[in-house]
């Protein structure tokens, strides 16, 4: 067996290259990574070496037995360059996760206002690093056609993010209306909402565009206020059955004094106003983050599609930017600035005066690094990395056997899909009971045909898929 194809997605230096725009990992993280690697070696490599050593020693005692030779191998690394649109899909997730401070949101499932898009990306992943590694390996955006291309996935991202913008805005308006009604109806001093409004008006988000958007919504709700607005949020009597948009029974309209110990000094309306203002502030934060993320992705695509779709405009001086290599994209706020007069390499904050976002060197992407996307090529792909694996396998001489090590379950399914599409027959050691795995392995080793082709001829599997995290990958 000469060839060993490894889909290298373990936490190695190579994968860190994808994290160029993130802060370098801490020493504690590196130590944990090393310990992880050592465990892998102990489990799969050292045990085998020890066994080989024992066999060799035994063989030396009895000269009649042949010595177990080393397995020859050659390591060949293939550099895979992601296409421009694949980079965009990866960076979009990276920017969104960075805005959420790389928190593993899955641990906060009870949070009703969770960013659905982050949640979707983290589904089935142990942590954000895994989600990013997967995003760099294949693109899968829910709603994209099974045979969709990376550019079509990018288009879909824009459409989905625009819909999400509308959803977040509507939710914010609703919360604003509720808080406004409570504020107008309260009979007690409670200035939380007024204070929040003042904070917002003083460019609280450090982002003029988002701030004025929220200020506009506040004015609109103030103008449209009506004393009967409560019917959208509350029911009047215990016997009423008014429900909200999700079919949940609405709470009773707050009347009288609060009964809870911590807010006994407040009326129910004032207590409800406190809660509503906190919720409002959280929703507004999410809305503003979303505006930034959308701005980032649109600027990124504008650079990649430059020449086919619109022109580039500097967010600071408003002059048009002739070519992508004359622009710098700031990942934190999504502003695009010209290199001629506005962008300064050693400046650690965004040059747009009304934007207070920090912009350290790892948060700046030179335009030329984003590549050029020729959407018209429209090549159907499993993602450049998986395509490369398929090509590698196809190029190997007939009769050779290939071991394919894959770390993550989601990726496993993708690779199987790609192999099937390329009409490559494989055996999978990742599924089934212990006995079923043993049968699969024996058939693979004995070179038995396991699949009937459409023309009736039998085929042998020449690829064996193993899961790095599974003991069966060590051949046990």
Choice from 317, 392, 396, 468 touching Zn ion (CB under 5 A)? 317
By CB under 5 A, is residue 288 in contact with Zn ion? no
Q: Which stretch binds Zn ion (CB under 5 A): 21-29, 119-127, 351-359, 380-388?
A: 351-359
The strand pair at 312-313 and 4-6 is best described as unpaired
Nearest-approach distance from CB 353 to Zn ion, in angstroms:
10
Nearest-approach distance from CB 313 to Zn ion, in angstroms:
9
- Residue closer to Zn ion by CB (options 183, 359) is 359
Q: Which stretch binds Zn ion (CB under 5 A): 47-55, 220-228, 252-260, 335-343?
A: 335-343
DSSP codes, 269-302:
HHHHHHHHHHHHHHHHHHHHHHHHHHHHHHHHHH
Query: What are the residues whose beta carbons fall under 8 Å from the beta carbon of 469, sequence distance 6 or more?
Result: 407
Nearest-approach distance from CB 318 to Zn ion, in angstroms:
7
By CB under 5 A, is residue 336 in contact with Zn ion? no
C-alpha span between 427 and 434 (Å, rounded): 15
By CB under 5 A, is residue 299 in contact with Zn ion? no
Nearest-approach distance from CB 450 to Zn ion, in angstroms:
58
Q: What angle do CA 173, 179, 185 make, to 5 degrees?
A: 135
Choice from 135, 295, 335, 414 touching Zn ion (CB under 5 A)? 335
By CB under 5 A, is residue 321 in contact with Zn ion? no
Q: Which stretch binds Zn ion (CB under 5 A): 252-260, 289-297, 316-324, 462-470?
A: 316-324
Choice from 214, 338, 370, 411 touching Zn ion (CB under 5 A)? 338
C-alpha span between 15 and 19 (Å, rounded): 8
- Residue closer to Zn ion by CB (options 100, 317) is 317
Choice from 96, 306, 316, 437 touching Zn ion (CB under 5 A)? 316
Rule CB under 5 A: which of 394-453 touch Zn ion?
none
Q: Which stretch binds Zn ion (CB under 5 A): 162-170, 231-239, 356-364, 401-409?
A: 356-364
Q: Which stretch binds Zn ion (CB under 5 A): 29-37, 49-57, 346-354, 448-456?
A: 346-354
Nearest-approach distance from CB 319 to Zn ion, in angstroms:
6
Measured in whole angstroms, the distance separating CA 5 from the mean position of its chain's CA atoms is 26
Nearest-approach distance from CB 325 to Zn ion, in angstroms:
15
Q: Which stretch binds Zn ion (CB under 5 A): 220-228, 240-248, 313-321, 408-416?
A: 313-321
Rule CB under 5 A: which of 17-56 touch Zn ion?
none
Tell me, residue by residue from 102 to 141, as one string, x for binding to Zn ion by CB under 5 A and - for no binding: ----------------------------------------
Nearest to 120 by CA among 158, 160, 88: 160
How many beta carbons lie within 10 A of that of residue 28, not counting itself? 8
Nearest-approach distance from CB 212 to Zn ion, in angstroms:
15
Nearest-approach distance from CB 263 to Zn ion, in angstroms:
40
Choice from 355, 402, 411, 464 touching Zn ion (CB under 5 A)? 355
For residues 250 and 234, the answer to whether their CB atoms sit within 8 Å is: yes
By CB under 5 A, is residue 312 in contact with Zn ion? no
C-alpha span between 367 and 168 (Å, rounded): 30
Count Cα neighbours of 341 within 13 Å in the Cβ-side half-sphere. Answer: 10
The strand pair at 463-467 and 426-428 is best described as parallel
For residues 327 and 351, the answer to whether their CB atoms sit within 8 Å is: no
- Residue closer to Zn ion by CB (options 253, 335) is 335
Nearest-approach distance from CB 335 to Zn ion, in angstroms:
4
Site size toward Zn ion (CB under 5 A) is 11
By CB under 5 A, is residue 314 in contact with Zn ion? yes
Nearest-approach distance from CB 336 to Zn ion, in angstroms:
9
Residue 62 DSSP class: S
Choice from 150, 305, 336, 350 touching Zn ion (CB under 5 A)? 350
Query: What are the residues whose beta carbons fall under 8 Å from the beta carbon of 78, sequence distance 6 or more?
Result: 388, 392
CA distances from 329 to 72, 302, 338, 362, 365 (A): 47, 11, 9, 11, 5
Binning the chain into helix, strand and coil, the percentages to the nearest 5 are 50, 10, 40
By CB under 5 A, is residue 168 in contact with Zn ion? no
- Residue closer to Zn ion by CB (options 283, 316) is 316
DSSP codes, 334-396:
--EEETTTT--TT--B-SSTTB--B--GGGEEEGGGG----GGG----S-HHHHHHHHHHHHS
How many beta carbons lie within 10 A of that of residue 454, not counting itself? 5
For residues 429 and 463, the answer to whether their CB atoms sit within 8 Å is: no
Rule CB under 5 A: which of 358-387 touch Zn ion?
none
Task: Name the site residues for Zn ion (rule: CB under 5 A).
Answer: 314, 316-317, 333, 335, 338, 342, 350, 352, 355, 357
């Amino acid at each position: 067996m000469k060839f060993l194809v490894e889909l290298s997605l373990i936490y190695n230096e190579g994968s860190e290259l994808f994290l160029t725009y993130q802060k370098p990992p801490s020493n504690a993280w590196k130590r944990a990574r090393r310990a992880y690697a050592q465990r892998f070696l102990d489990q799969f490599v050292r045990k085998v070496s020890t066994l080989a050593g024992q066999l060799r020693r035994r063989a030396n005692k009895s000269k009649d037995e042949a010595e177990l030779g080393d397995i020859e191998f050659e390591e060949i690394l293939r550099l895979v360059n992601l296409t421009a649109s694949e980079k965009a899909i990866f960076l979009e997730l990276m920017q969104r996760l960075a805005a959420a401070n790389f928190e593993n949101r899955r641990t906060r499932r009870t949070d009703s206002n969770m960013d659905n898009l982050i949640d979707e990306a983290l589904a089935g992943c142990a942590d954000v690093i895994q989600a990013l590694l997967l995003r760099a390996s294949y693109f899968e955006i829910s709603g994209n056609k099974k045979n969709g291309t990376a550019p079509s996935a990018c288009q879909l991202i824009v459409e989905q993010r625009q819909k999400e913008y509308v959803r977040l805005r509507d939710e914010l308006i609703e919360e604003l209306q509720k808080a406004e009604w409570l504020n107008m109806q309260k009979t007690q001093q409670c200035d939380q909402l007024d204070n929040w409004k003042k904070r917002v008006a003083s460019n609280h988000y450090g982002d003029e565009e988002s701030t004025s958007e929220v200020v506009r919504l506040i004015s609109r709700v103030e103008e449209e206020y009506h004393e009967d607005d409560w019917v959208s949020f509350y029911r009047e009597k215990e016997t009423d059955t008014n429900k909200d948009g999700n079919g949940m029974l609405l709470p009773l309209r707050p009347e009288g004094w609060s009964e809870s110990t911590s807010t006994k000094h407040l009326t129910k309306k004032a207590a409800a106003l406190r809660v509503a203002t906190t919720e409002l502030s959280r929703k507004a934060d999410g809305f503003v983050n979303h505006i930034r993320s959308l701005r980032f992705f649109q600027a990124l695509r504008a650079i990649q599609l430059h020449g086919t779709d619109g022109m580039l405009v500097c967010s600071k001086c408003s002059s048009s930017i002739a070519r992508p290599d004359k622009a710098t994209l700031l990942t934190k706020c999504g502003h695009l600035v010209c290199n001629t007069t506005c962008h300064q390499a050693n400046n650690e904050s965004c040059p747009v005066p009304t934007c207070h976002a920090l912009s350290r060197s790892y948060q700046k992407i030179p335009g030329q690094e984003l590549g050029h996307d020729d959407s018209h090529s429209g090549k159907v792909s499993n993602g450049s990395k998986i395509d490369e694996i398929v090509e590698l396998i196809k190029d190997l001489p007939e009769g050779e056997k290939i071991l394919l090590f894959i770390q993550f379950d989601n990726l496993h399914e993708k690779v199987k899909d790609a192999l099937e599409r390329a009409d490559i027959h494989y055996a999978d050691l990742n599924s089934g009971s212990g006995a079923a795995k043993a049968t699969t392995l024996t058939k693979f080793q004995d070179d038995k045909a396991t699949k009937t082709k459409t023309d009736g001829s039998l085929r042998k599997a020449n690829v064996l898929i193993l899961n790095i995290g599974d003991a069966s990958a060590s051949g046990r």
